[in-house]
């Protein structure tokens, strides 16, 4: 069975998925971003639907982080269009992204080791009684509810984050996004530097987010993890979208080929001329 959308020669953006899925929860169109003379993104289209996990992959320098930072408001796009649930939006700051329901979990997780789980879940958004004392009981109750919904197992919500495993810390960072009523969750290398058991915990957490109807984007270099949880994979290469693959009908080899450029005729056969003027085949060039 062929991929529903195959890479295009020359790195042109791939067509959007079938319209039967309805309106994407998040859609980006013709996104461009430059840093001085360096063109990081060129006319990139991107979409993710509610109840879907999209793997965003590519080699170092492909533009993955730049694209995520554009939708997160950290490094706004130079031009292009962004739509949330079909409505055009302008995302120029992280606060605007959060207000729109777009939450990003970066590799560093942005957790405070000296605070307990509840303190981290509500960091900067603490609930207070009459505007004064912290509403500790209510924050704990709501925090426990979200953690149970995500099937996150912790020794205690009053345990210091410094005492928790990498998988548990990642789970807390994701739970924070749920408490903020996220619609789209962007996960940057969520299983990096985790052991086997911790990786399994995080992958289960991603499935839970999808099952709750969130739109989830996973940036990862680990294709095994991507194939475990993603419904589609979008490949960036040299700042362009060069391929879209349905997980059910593709292979890791096909995606690696798109990442490296092997699908796009970049291995050229050179021609030399012998003494009689006849063309001879030379070696392969990258």
Look over the chain and give the mean of its residue pLDDT values, rounded to a whole number.
86
- Per-residue confidence (pLDDT) for residue 284, from 0 to 100: 36
CA dihedral sign, ordered 137, 140, 146, 150: negative
Q: Which domains, from first to last, does the chain contain?
A: 9-101+183-285 (3.40.50.300), 116-177 (no CATH)
Q: How far apart are CA 216 and CA 150, in angstroms?
A: 14
Whole-structure pTM value? 0.81
The predicted-structure confidence for 109-132, as pLDDT tens digits, reads as follows 889 999 999 999 998 888 877 666
- Per-residue confidence (pLDDT) for residue 20, from 0 to 100: 53
229 within 8 A of 211, measured Cβ to Cβ: no
**Neighbour tally for 96: CB within 10 Å:** 15
The predicted-structure confidence for 201-256, as pLDDT tens digits, reads as follows 999 999 999 999 999 999 999 999 999 999 999 999 999 999 999 999 999 999 99
- The alpha-helical segments, DSSP class H, found in the chain are 64-72, 94-99, 117-121, 136-149, 166-179, 196-211, 223-229, 252-260
Three-state DSSP class for 271?
strand
- Per-residue confidence (pLDDT) for residue 17, from 0 to 100: 45
Give the residues across from 57 on adjacent strands: 235
pLDDT < 50: residue spans in the chain: 1-2, 4-19, 265-286
- Per-residue confidence (pLDDT) for residue 136, from 0 to 100: 86
């Amino acid at each position: 069975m062929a991929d529903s959308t195959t890479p295009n020669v020359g790195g042109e953006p791939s067509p959007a998925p079938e319209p039967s899925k309805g309106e994407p929860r998040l859609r980006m169109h013709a996104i461009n971003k430059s840093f001085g003379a360096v063109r990081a993104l060129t006319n990139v289209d991107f979409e993710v639907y509610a109840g879907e996990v999209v793997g965003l992959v590519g080699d170092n320098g492909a533009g993955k982080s730049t694209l995520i930072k554009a939708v997160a408001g950290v490094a706004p796009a130079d031009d292009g269009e962004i739509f949330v649930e079909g409505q055009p939006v302008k995302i120029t700051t992280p606060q605007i992204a959060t207000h729109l329901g777009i939450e990003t979990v970066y590799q560093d997780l942005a957790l405070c080791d000296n605070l307990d789980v509840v303190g981290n879940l509500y960091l900067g958004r603490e609930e207070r009684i009459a505007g004064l004392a912290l509403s500790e009981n209510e924050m704990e109750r709501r925090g426990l509810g979200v953690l149970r919904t995500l099937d996150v197992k912790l020794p205690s919500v009053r345990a210091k984050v410094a005492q928790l495993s990498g998988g548990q810390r990642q789970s807390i960072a994701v739970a924070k996004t749920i408490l903020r009523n996220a619609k789209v969750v962007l996960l940057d290398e969520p299983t990096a530097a985790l052991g086997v058991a911790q990786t399994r915990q995080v992958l289960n957490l991603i499935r839970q987010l999808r099952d709750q109807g969130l739109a989830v984007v996973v940036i990862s270099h680990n294709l095994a993890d991507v194939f475990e949880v993603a419904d589609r994979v979008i490949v960036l290469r040299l700042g362009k979208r060069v391929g879209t693959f349905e997980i059910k009908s593709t292979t890791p080899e096909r995606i690696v080929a798109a990442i490296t450029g092997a699908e796009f005729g970049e291995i050229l056969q050179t021609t030399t001329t012998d003494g009689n003027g006849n063309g001879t085949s030379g070696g392969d060039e990258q």
